[in-house]
């Protein structure tokens, strides 16, 4: 693992057996994400964007290759160990925000602590949740159910839930797909501010080229292969 990288993926291949043939979702992916770097992952539908992120976050295991997150090699982890890893080391914000409909905004953040021990007391967890909601502009919405929130507010709750355990890497899967252009722009601006404030690395999966100016780097993927890297900024850690 090179110093200064939150994620290192080497030779990643993912193959799905389909009847009498195989479908190659990823084919020899090499990709690093530096500490405090935001990468926009761009590609058409079916290009392998989401598969790459689910492997980086330990939801799927690769058919071949190695995955290191924060210096930790997760490639051969058991399902149980991967579950613990996902809960404590990475965050996810999915295209469908997947908030629990009968829990309030605050409770949707606190539910992460209910999934396993964090070494944090319930009062400390509540303080952490309320702090995040305040930073995300949702201080007055802590007791609202998802049905009482706008699309942008739901996205903010989902971002807070992803950040509750202070992960090293957060994956965003099409975070603006259900939002209009103005609101989508606000959400991506918020994502950048929150990630940079915490020094947290992020991968934003999108097909929307308009949001790439919020990323430090744009990576293009087509047919399971990375085709281009576009550096917009030069994160110091990437040079290490």
Q: How far apart are alpha carbons 108 and 110 in whole angstroms?
A: 6
Tokens linked to 10: 């080497």
Predicted TM-score of the model (pTM): 0.84
Calpha distance 104→143 (Å, rounded): 5
pLDDT bracket for residue 239 (50, 70, 90): very low
pLDDT in tens, 206-223: 877 777 888 999 999 999
Residue 44 carries which DSSP code?
Answer: -
37-58+77-233 has which CATH code?
A: 3.40.50.300
What pLDDT score does 119 carry?
A: 60
User: What are the residue ranges spanned by the domains of the chain?
Assistant: 37-58+77-233
Question: Number of C-alpha atoms within 13 angstroms, CB side, residue 102?
Answer: 0
By CB atoms closer than 10 A (0-12, 13-18, 19+), residue 102 is exposed
SS3 label, residue 11: strand
């Amino acid at each position: 693992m090179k110093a200064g990288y939150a994620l290192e993926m080497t030779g990643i291949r993912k193959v799905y057996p389909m009847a009498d043939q195989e479908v190659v979702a990823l084919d020899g992916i090499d990709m690093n994400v530096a500490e405090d770097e935001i990468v926009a992952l761009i590609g058409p539908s079916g290009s392998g964007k989401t598969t790459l992120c689910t492997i980086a976050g330990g939801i799927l295991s690769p058919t071949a290759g190695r995955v290191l997150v924060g210096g930790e090699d997760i490639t051969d982890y058991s399902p149980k160990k991967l579950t613990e890893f996902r809960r404590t080391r990475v965050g996810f914000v999915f295209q469908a925000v997947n908030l629990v409909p009968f829990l309030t905004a605050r409770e949707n953040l606190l539910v992460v602590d209910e999934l396993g021990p964090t070494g944090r007391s319930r009062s400390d967890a509540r303080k952490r949740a309320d702090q995040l909601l305040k930073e995300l502009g949702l201080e007055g919405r802590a007791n609202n159910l998802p049905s009482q929130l706008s699309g942008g507010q739901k996205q903010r709750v989902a971002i807070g839930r992803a950040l509750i355990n202070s992960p090293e890497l957060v994956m965003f899967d099409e975070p603006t797909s259900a939002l209009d252009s103005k609101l989508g722009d606000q959400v991506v601006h918020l994502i950048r501010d929150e990630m940079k404030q915490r020094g947290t690395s992020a991968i934003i999966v999108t097909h929307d080229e308009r949001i790439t100016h919020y990323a430090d780097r744009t990576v293009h993927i087509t047919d399971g292969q990375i085709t281009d890297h576009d550096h917009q900024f030069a994160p110091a850690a990437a040079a290490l």
